[in-house]
Amino acid sequence: MRVGFIGTGIMGKPMAHNLLRAGFAVSVHNRSRSRLADLISEGAAWMDSPRAVAAASELIVTMLPGWAEFEAVLVGSDGLLAGIRPGAIHLSMETVSPGQARRAAVMLQELGAHGLDAPVSGGEQGAIDASLAIMVGGAQEAFDVALPVLQAMGRNVIRIGPSGAGQIAKACNQLIVAVTIEAVAEALALARAAGVDPANVRRALAGGFADSRILQDHGRRMLDGDYLPGGQAKHHLKDRAVVEEIVAATGIDLPVAEAAFARIATLVERGRGELDHSALFTLFSDDAAREL
């Protein structure tokens, strides 16, 4: 299958690399060709526009920072929609809102093509290892055709439901991630406030019901003060907006998620939005400093 790839950033580049390694013919485009030198040397074909990528591909992957960048690639005389072939599949792997995902799928459908929303979880390491969790929304038939491509980039590939459902699952994922990071931060801060070494507490909780990937990874970051991203805190405010869009549409009450997202907003307001989200732990040091 001829695969196009647009959005070769921190996540996208290793994902495109994994497609090449799996034997797919890959064409790529980036505003700066020099950024793609490594992929081109590995066999990727350079195209001078998103339109040209689409025209050369049966399946096109985008992995862009968000909706603004995605829409800029999609529309216009050099855009993806201008070149897309009837029957082609577009895999939208960036995180956008469910409504935006459905809008893109409708635009594709009007041109006889198929849109799948397929956001991921697992971070840069998951992209490198091809171990991403990939949550897919869209028609079963298109999912079946795209599956070999998805499996070249991820380990846990699940079709959640119709168009937009992948982004809904991603919002659920981000809700749990935000709340669990704050839970671990509160527990370690509680231990420290009570005069106990939080490193011992983290070690003791391993294997019990409180154990999680976040206790392991983000808990260690908190104890080491290692806040190089990772997942930048400010990106969680986009996730908050997606969750609040669903909340507004359905009237559901999510008090703990709201409290956790409010903490992230405080962190961003204090100028720490570029740090890893585990920097939520620093809010407790602010409080302690104010006490002095």
Which range, of 38-46, 108-116, 144-152, 205-213, touches a second copy by CB under 8 A? 205-213
Catalytic-residue membership of 13: no
β-pair type (132-137, 120-121)? antiparallel
- Nearer to a second copy by Cβ, of 48 and 129: the residue is 129
First to last CA, the chain: 64
Distance in Å, CB of 23 to a second copy, minimum: 24
Choose, by CB under 8 A, the member of 34, 68, 209, 289 that binds a second copy: 209
Residue 211 engages a second copy in binding (rule: CB under 8 A): yes
**Which listed residue (194, 228, 248, 292) binds a second copy by CB under 8 A?**
194
Query: In whole angstroms, how far apart are CA 29 and each of 67, 86, 116, 171?
Result: 18, 21, 20, 28
Which of positions 99-158 make contact with a second copy (CB under 8 A)? Answer: 121-123, 126, 131-135, 155-156, 158
Binding of a second copy by 92 (CB under 8 A): no
Mask of contacts with a second copy, 213-252, x by CB under 8 A? xxx-x-------------x-----------x--xx-xxxx
- Coil, strand or helix at 119: coil
> Which element (helix H / strand E) includes 6?
strand 2-6
Asked whether 136 and 117 are in contact (CB, 8 A), the reply is yes
Residue closer to a second copy by CB (options 51, 192) is 192
CB of 260 to a second copy, least distance (A): 5
Angle between helices 165-193 and 98-110 (to 10 degrees): 160
In sequence order, the 6+-apart residues with CB closer than 8 A to the CB of 71 are none
> Taking the CB of residue 109, how many other CB atoms lie within 10 A of it?
13
Of residues 106, 147, 206, 241, which one binds a second copy by CB under 8 A? 206
Single residue of 32, 34, 41, 195 touching a second copy by CB under 8 A: 195
Report d(CA 43, CA 60) in Å as an integer: 17
Torsional class of 232: left (φ above 0), alpha (ψ -120 to 50), beta (otherwise): beta
Exactly one of 45, 128, 145, 191 binds a second copy (CB under 8 A); which one?
191
Q: Which two tokens stand for residue 270?
A: 């204090």
From the list 13, 170, 234, 238, the catalytic residue is 170
Segment contacting a second copy (CB under 8 A): 2-10, 41-49, 199-207, 221-229? 199-207
With contact defined as beta carbons under 8 Å apart, do 94 and 101 qualify?
A: no
Of residues 151-170, those binding a second copy (CB under 8 A): 155-156, 158-161, 165, 168-169
Q: Please pick, from the candidates 128, 183, 237, 265, the single residue that binds a second copy as defined by CB under 8 A.
A: 183
* Distance of closest approach, residue 177 Cβ to a second copy, in angstroms: 5
Q: Is 196 in the site for a second copy (CB under 8 A)?
A: yes
Q: Is residue 179 within 8 Å of residue 256, measured between CB atoms?
A: yes
Show which residues are catalytic.
Answer: 170
